[in-house]
Each structure stands twice: as C-alpha cells, then as structure tokens.
C-alpha cells in the first residue's frame, strides 16, 4: 500500500476503537483499493498457550460463501478411491508418483488428502508437507475413505485453522469483491467455529481480540462482545 493511500486509510479508522462486525467489514472493504482483488483476513487472539496439548485450537470451518480462492487439491489414493477423487475434481491424484513429485520439490497444491491405507506412503513426505501445514490429518478430515466428499469440501471453500505459538489464529475469509453481507456471514461462521473449538485447558478470557484486514489495507478491531 502506498504511503499516501495508507495515511488516508488510517484517517477512516480509530485504532483504539472496536467496531461492530458490519461496520468493520464496511471499513475494510472501502480501504481495499489495490489493483487486484484483495483477500479479507480475520485474526483472532485467543487466551491459550498452544505448547500445552489441552490448549491447542485446530480444526476446519466451512465458509458459507467460500474463500474466493481457487484451491488445488492433491490426493493420495489408488484404484477405485483414486477414480472417486478425480471425479470429484481433485487436481492431482497419485501414490508412488505423487511421493516422487513432492520429494522433487513439486508441491503445487493447497490441500492434501489421503485414504487411511495410503498414510504410510504419505508419511514418507511428512517432513516436506508438515512444515507447510499440508500433512493429511484425521482431525481435519483429510485422512478419510470419503475422498470425494473431502475434495468437494476443500473446493467449496473449507478453511483449515491452527493457533500459532503466540495464541493467534487467522484465515482468509473472502475477497474484497465479496458483498459486505457475504464477508460478515463468513466471519461469523469462522468465529463460531473457533468458539466451538474452545479447548478444555483454556483459562480466563478465551477470545481476547478480533481484527479484520485486507491484503494491502489497514487492520480494524472488531467488538467481540457482540459476537
């Protein structure tokens, strides 16, 4: 964002004020003036310490209006399950050949799914996929016999989230070209998923702070008490 644009954008935002969700979305959309369709991001600061297992927050959330992003899906499957994955729209389907491709540095996908019987093979590339957050995981629905369903959900705009070590969880919940109502509904769905994922070990205030921003825009605080 250019200096002049960011100065003008900050004039429309009171950095100390927490806005109602609808108003925050309106401000973020109005300031998303880059020459490309900016992503709308939500960041939620949680009262958890993820280094403790009983305070980890991780899961998936189906956004009612999708993310606006084209999601490329790779699937570890063979035989009938491979055919099901292809029919559902998977971009890459394979077994040994997929392992070789990943080990060669070709990781041109955003989501990786595996059937349970293929997890041994997927495990061979865990050191590549793990740091990228792409390793198939039963808790995220990416290790499943229903590969067709998993592929369709990923393509429809299901987002995965995982709290970072500083207690923040964030996700892209749409594009600046979305209507305000679509962004609000996606934000509510994501916040609801985070609330439902509250871990047993969370103490005190669970949802401390919420903010919205666009790729090149300003951050706007959201009043979490109304949510």
Can you give the CATH number for the domain in which 144 is found? 3.40.50.790
Give the CATH number, domain containing residue 219.
3.30.190.20
Residue 107 sits in the same domain as residue 213: no
At 1 the pLDDT is 45
Residue 93 sits in the same domain as residue 107: yes
At 86-119, the pLDDT tens digits run 999 999 999 999 999 999 999 999 999 999 999 9
Q: Identify whether 107 is part of a domain.
A: yes
Domain that holds residue 21: 16-67+158-226
Residue 81 sits in the same domain as residue 193: no
Residue 218 binned pLDDT confidence (cut-offs 50, 70, 90): confident
Residue 63 sits in the same domain as residue 79: no
Q: Identify whether 2 is part of a domain.
A: no
Residue 43 sits in the same domain as residue 28: yes
Residue 24 sits in the same domain as residue 94: no
Residue 11 binned pLDDT confidence (cut-offs 50, 70, 90): low
Residues 29-66 as b/e (b if ≥16 CB within 10 A, e otherwise) read bebbbeeebbbbbbbbbbebbbeeeebbbebbbebebb
At 227 the pLDDT is 73
Residue 163 sits in the same domain as residue 54: yes
| Average pLDDT of the residues in 18-46 | 94
Domain final residue, candidates 156, 190, 207: 156
At 7 the pLDDT is 59
Tokens 């060669």 correspond to 104
Please tell me the distance from the alpha carbon of residue 32 to that of residue 140, in angstroms, as a whole number.
Answer: 31
> What is the number of domains present in the chain?
2
Residue 89 sits in the same domain as residue 134: yes
Q: Identify whether 5 is part of a domain.
A: no
Tokens 């997890």 correspond to 119
pLDDT at 10 over 80: no
Q: Identify whether 60 is part of a domain.
A: yes
At 170-215, the pLDDT tens digits run 999 999 999 999 999 999 999 999 999 999 999 899 999 999 999 9
Residue 168 sits in the same domain as residue 151: no
Residue 209 sits in the same domain as residue 198: yes
**Is residue 207 within 8 Å of 221, Cβ to Cβ?**
no
Q: Identify whether 171 is part of a domain.
A: yes
Beta bridge partners, 172, equal 41
**Is residue 66 within 8 Å of 156, Cβ to Cβ?**
yes
Residue 91 sits in the same domain as residue 192: no
Task: State in Å, rounded, how far the first CA of the chain is from the last one.
Answer: 30
Please tell me the distance from the alpha carbon of residue 103 to that of residue 57, in angstroms, as a whole number.
Answer: 30
Residue 91 sits in the same domain as residue 140: yes
């Amino acid at each position: 964002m250019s200096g002049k644009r960011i100065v003008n954008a900050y004039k429309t935002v009171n950095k100390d004020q927490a806005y109602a969700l609808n108003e925050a979305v309106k401000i973020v959309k109005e300031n998303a003036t880059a020459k490309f369709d900016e992503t709308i991001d939500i960041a939620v600061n949680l009262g958890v310490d993820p280094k403790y297992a009983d305070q980890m927050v991780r899961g998936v959330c189906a956004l009612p209006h999708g993310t606006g992003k084209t999601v490329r899906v790779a699937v570890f499957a063979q035989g009938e399950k491979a055919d099901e994955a292809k029919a559902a729209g998977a971009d890459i389907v394979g077994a040994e050949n997929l392992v070789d491709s990943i080990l060669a540095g070709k990781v041109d996908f955003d989501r990786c799914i595996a059937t349970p019987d293929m997890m041994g093979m997927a495990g061979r590339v865990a050191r590549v996929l793990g740091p990228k957050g792409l390793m198939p995981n039963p808790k995220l629905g990416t290790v499943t016999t229903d590969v067709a369903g998993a592929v369709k959900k990923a393509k429809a705009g299901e987002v995965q989230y995982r709290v970072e070590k500083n207690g923040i969880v964030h996700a892209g919940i749409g594009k600046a070209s979305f209507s305000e109502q679509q962004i609000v509904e996606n934000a509510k769905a994501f916040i609801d998923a985070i609330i439902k994922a509250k871990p047993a070990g969370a103490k005190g205030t669970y949802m401390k702070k919420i903010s919205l921003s666009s790729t090149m825009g300003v951050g706007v605080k959201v009043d979490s008490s109304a949510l």
